[in-house]
C-alpha cells in the first residue's frame, strides 16, 4: 500500500518534470536589445535541450558566437578573440540552462547577431542559430526625464534614465546641493531604470535659476536635462 502510494507520487513527479521541460532545442533570448555605445549590456539567456536517457557528464561547454567567432565561454582558460577578450563575461550557469552573458565597452561593430552553442560531453551539441540576439548600438543617450515638485519651502526633483548595464549603473550629479537618494528598478529582462531624487529647502536665490541633472554612463557618455525653478 505504502509502496504503491510512493510509486504514484514518483510517477506524478516524473510526468510533471517532463511537462515543465518540453525537451526541445530552444533558447529564450531577446531578438534585439538597444544599448549605449561604450556601456555594457547583460544579455539574458536560457536554453533547453531534449532530455537524455541518462545523466550527462560534467564539463559542459557553452559558447557565444558571432558567425564562427567565439566571443564568450564558460571555460575560464579559453583564449578569446582579441576583439572580445576582456569585454565579455559569461554570467550564466550552463548546467542550469542559463547562458546569460555580459558585453562591456560596446562598439559600433557589436551589432551581432550573436547566438549560443552548448556542448554536452557524450551527449549532444547544438547551436541555437534560430535564436539570435542583435544589439542596436545607440550613439548618444537620450536626455533624462526631469520632474520637479515645489511645496511650501521644499523642492523635490527627480531625474531618471533607463539603461542596460546593471553592473555599472549611471551616475547622477545635480547643479544644486541637497539630500540625494537613488533607486533602481528592473523594467524588463534587459532594461533597468535608475532614479536620483534631490530634495532641498528653498532659498530665494534658488528661483529663476537652472536646476540641472547630469547623467554619466558607463563608458563616459553624458546627458543632461535642465529646468528653471519658478517663483509662485
Ligand X SMILES: *[C@@H]1O[C@H](CO)[C@@H](O)[C@H](O)[C@H]1NC(C)=O
Strand 101-103 relative to strand 61-66: parallel, antiparallel, unpaired?
unpaired
Cα–Cα distance measured from residue 134 to residue 114, given in angstroms and rounded to the nearest whole number: 6
- Give me the least distance between CB of 87 and ligand X, in Å please: 17
Q: Give the C-alpha separation, 48 to 29, whole Å.
A: 12
Minimum separation from the CB atom of position 6 to ligand X (A): 31
Residues forming the site for ligand X (CB under 6 A): 46, 91-92, 98, 100, 143, 145-147, 175, 210, 212, 225-226
In the bound state with ligand X, the residue whose beta carbon lies nearer, of 111 and 221, is 221
Cβ-based burial of 179 (10 A; exposed 0-12, middle 13-18, buried ≥19) = exposed
Give residue number: closest CB to ligand X.
145
What is the nearest approach in angstroms of ligand X to the Cβ of residue 129?
A: 21
Q: Round to whole Å and give the CA distance between 10 and 28.
A: 29
Residue of 72, 67, 128 lying closest to 102 (CA atoms): 72
Radius of gyration of the chain (CA): 24
| Closest CB 100 distance from ligand X, rounded Å | 4
- Long-range contacts, 176-183 (Cβ 8 Å, 24+): 176/200, 176/206, 176/211
Q: Toward ligand X, which CB reaches closer, 143 or 178?
A: 143
Residue closer to ligand X, measured from CB, 111 or 171? 171
Tell me the C-alpha distance between 159 and 214, whole Å.
Answer: 9
Nearer to ligand X, 111 or 191 (CB): 191
Q: In this complex, which beta carbon is closest to ligand X, that of residue 59 or of residue 210?
A: 210
- Write down the least CB distance from residue 102 to ligand X, Å: 9
Amino acid at each position: 500500500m505504502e509502496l504503491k502510494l510512493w510509486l504514484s507520487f514518483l510517477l506524478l513527479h516524473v510526468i510533471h518534470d517532463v511537462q515543465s521541460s518540453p525537451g526541445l532545442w530552444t533558447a529564450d533570448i531577446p531578438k534585439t536589445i538597444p544599448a549605449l555605445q561604450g556601456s555594457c549590456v547583460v544579455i539574458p539567456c536560457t536554453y533547453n535541450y531534449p532530455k537524455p536517457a541518462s545523466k550527462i557528464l560534467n564539463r559542459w561547454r557553452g559558447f557565444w558566437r558571432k558567425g564562427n567567432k567565439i566571443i564568450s565561454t564558460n571555460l575560464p582558460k579559453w583564449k578569446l578573440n582579441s576583439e572580445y577578450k576582456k569585454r565579455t563575461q559569461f554570467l550564466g550557469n550552463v548546467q542550469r540552462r542559463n547562458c546569460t552573458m555580459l558585453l562591456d565597452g560596446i562598439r559600433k561593430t557589436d551589432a551581432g547577431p550573436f547566438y549560443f552553442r552548448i556542448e554536452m560531453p557524450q551527449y549532444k551539441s547544438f547551436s541555437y542559430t534560430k535564436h539570435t540576439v542583435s544589439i542596436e548600438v545607440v550613439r548618444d543617450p537620450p536626455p533624462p526625464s526631469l520632474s520637479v515638485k515645489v511645496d511650501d519651502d521644499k523642492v523635490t526633483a527627480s531625474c531618471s534614465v533607463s539603461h542596460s548595464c546593471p553592473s555599472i549603473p549611471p551616475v547622477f550629479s545635480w547643479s544644486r546641493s541637497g539630500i540625494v537618494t537613488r533607486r533602481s528598478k528592473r523594467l524588463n529582462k534587459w532594461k533597468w531604470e535608475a532614479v536620483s531624487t534631490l530634495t532641498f529647502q528653498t532659498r530665494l536665490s534658488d528661483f529663476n535659476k537652472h536646476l540641472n541633472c547630469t547623467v554619466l554612463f558607463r563608458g563616459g557618455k553624458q546627458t543632461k536635462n535642465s529646468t528653471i525653478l519658478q517663483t509662485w
